[in-house]
């Protein structure tokens, strides 16, 4: 049972219950296998991208440097929620401590915003590469690339701590049941005993700022990219420019489209179960698809990943034969 401390009519909570996606006992093994498989595929895909970029000198460019950081953010993003869910299913326990809940919430927001910021940085990188190709190496120098990643991290950390400080104001809750498989700041505010209107306003304002500004930069970058491509006389040049932006644009559309779809579905349905199922799209499916999008649409990436896999398989075979 959750540890509760009564203060008047309020309840001071030391633990929460993550209700997950379903109460059906027969469905638990299916959910366990499904989410474990998706988690392993996501980890393998993103780790392959990082190893491929690190091992291939031809990929030591700003675009792939940002892609490596995006893969790291995706690994952190999915590792914040899915392992806990898998453990809960396996142990048949839904308990998460108050401190662990706040930590999970903070990391979830940190890596989620980091994803968004890195997609914005990558859009700027493509803008410089296509609209200012002669000055690309000068503008996108290693120092600027590292600064852009550092700023992305600091902005993400700031957003996560703002949400954390808002939730920390509330230690008394009406209920301990969180209608999802992870700790979400909006759900925690709904459970708070005291008035949360002003805090909701601040939280949604901060969320809008950190969502709208990156989207504005991405939209502006691609508007200028499209204008530059259409002014170009060469059809081969246009095709090459579109192909270099295709993967990134696909991930941007998937990211913003998924978040918008989840938000609209939660607004319309008002069903906790439907909201939890919809949240799987951006917490699990999106990080899993990103490596496939970047690898399948990129010849250099496919070559580098295949090289890493070939070396790994060869090393394993040599170790096995030498052991015999």
Q: Which residues contact 123 (CB under 8 A, 6 or more apart)?
A: 217, 218, 221, 222, 248, 252
Question: Can you give the pTM of this predicted structure?
Answer: 0.87
Picking from 33-42, 47-56, 112-121, 242-251, which range would have the lowest pLDDT averaged per residue? Answer: 242-251
| Residue range of the domain that includes 123 | 4-313
Return the beta strands (E) in 162-267 as ranges: 177-178
Would you say residue 171 has pLDDT above 80? no
pLDDT confidence of residue 210 = 77
The string of pLDDT tens digits covering residues 197-246 is: 777 787 778 777 877 888 899 999 999 988 888 776 666 656 666 666 87
* pLDDT value for 269: 60
Q: Is the pLDDT of residue 323 over 60?
A: no
Rounded Cα gap, residues 213 and 117, in angstroms: 10
Span 65-72, mean pLDDT? 94
Any domain includes 233: yes
pLDDT of residue 75 exceeding 70: yes
Q: What is the mean pLDDT of residues 177-184?
A: 88
CA distance 112 to 76: 9
Cβ atoms 86, 32 nearer than 8 A: yes
pLDDT band for position 319 (50/70/90)? low
Nearest CA among 200, 172, 167, 181 for reference residue 19? 181
pLDDT band at 82 (very low <50, low <70, confident <90, very high): very high
- What is the residue-wise DSSP string for 135-150? GHHHHT-HHHHHHHHH
User: Angle CA(252)–CA(46)–CA(146) in degrees, nearest 5?
Assistant: 70
29 compared with 171, residue with greater pLDDT: 29
Specify the range with the lowest mean pLDDT, choosing from 80-94, 179-193, 255-269.
Answer: 255-269
The pLDDT of residue 110 is 94
73 touches 111 (CB < 8 A): yes
Q: Which of 89-93, 244-248, 265-269 reaches the highest mean pLDDT?
A: 89-93
Whole-number Å distance between alpha carbons of 204 and 53: 37
* pLDDT tens digits for range 271-295: 667 777 778 888 898 899 888 888 7
Q: How many domains does the chain have?
A: 1
Q: Are 19 and 180 in contact (CB under 8 A)?
A: yes
The residue ranking higher by pLDDT, 158 or 247, is 158
pLDDT single digits (tens) 150-163: 999 999 999 999 88
Q: What is the CATH number of the domain that holds 102?
A: 1.20.1070.10
In a domain, 79, yes or no: yes
Residue 318 domain flag: no
Mean pLDDT of the chain: 83
Which position has the higher pLDDT, 320 or 231? 231
Considering the domain boundaries, does residue 324 fall inside one?
no
Q: Is the residue at 290 inside a domain?
A: yes
For residue 46, pLDDT over 90 is answered with yes
Q: What is the mean pLDDT of residues 40-48?
A: 93
267 within a domain of the structure (yes/no): yes
């Amino acid at each position: 049972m959750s540890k509760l401390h009564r203060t008047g009519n309020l309840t001071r909570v030391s633990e929460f219950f993550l209700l997950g996606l379903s109460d059906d006992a027969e469905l638990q093994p299916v959910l366990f296998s499904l989410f474990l498989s998706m988690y392993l595929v996501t980890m393998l895909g993103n780790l392959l991208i990082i190893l491929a970029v690190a091992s291939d000198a031809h990929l030591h460019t700003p675009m792939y440097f940002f892609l490596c950081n995006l893969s790291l953010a995706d690994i952190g993003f999915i590792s914040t929620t899915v392992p806990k869910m898998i453990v809960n299913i396996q142990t048949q326990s839904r308990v998460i401590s108050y401190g662990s809940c706040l930590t999970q919430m903070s990391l979830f927001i940190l890596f989620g915003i980091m994803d968004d910021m890195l997609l914005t940085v990558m859009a700027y990188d493509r803008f410089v590469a296509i609209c200012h190709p002669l000055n690309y190496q000068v503008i996108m120098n290693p120092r600027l690339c590292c600064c852009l990643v550092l700023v992305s991290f600091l902005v993400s950390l700031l957003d996560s701590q703002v949400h954390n400080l808002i939730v920390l104001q509330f230690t008394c809750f009406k209920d301990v049941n969180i209608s999802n498989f992870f700790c979400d700041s909006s759900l925690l505010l709904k459970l708070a005993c005291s008035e949360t209107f002003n805090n909701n306003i601040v939280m949604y304002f901060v969320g809008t700022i950190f969502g709208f500004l990156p989207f504005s930069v991405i939209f502006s970058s691609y508007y200028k990219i499209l204008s530059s491509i259409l002014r170009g006389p060469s059809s081969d040049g246009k095709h090459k420019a579109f192909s270099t932006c295709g993967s990134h644009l696909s991930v941007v559309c998937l990211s913003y489209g998924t978040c918008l779809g989840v938000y609209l579905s939660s607004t319309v349905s008002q069903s906790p179960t439907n909201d939890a199922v919809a949240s799987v799209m951006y917490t699990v499916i999106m990080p899993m698809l990103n490596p496939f999008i970047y690898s399948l649409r990129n010849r250099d990436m496919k070559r580098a990943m295949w090289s890493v896999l070939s070396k790994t398989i060869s090393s394993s075979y040599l170790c096995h034969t030498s052991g015999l």
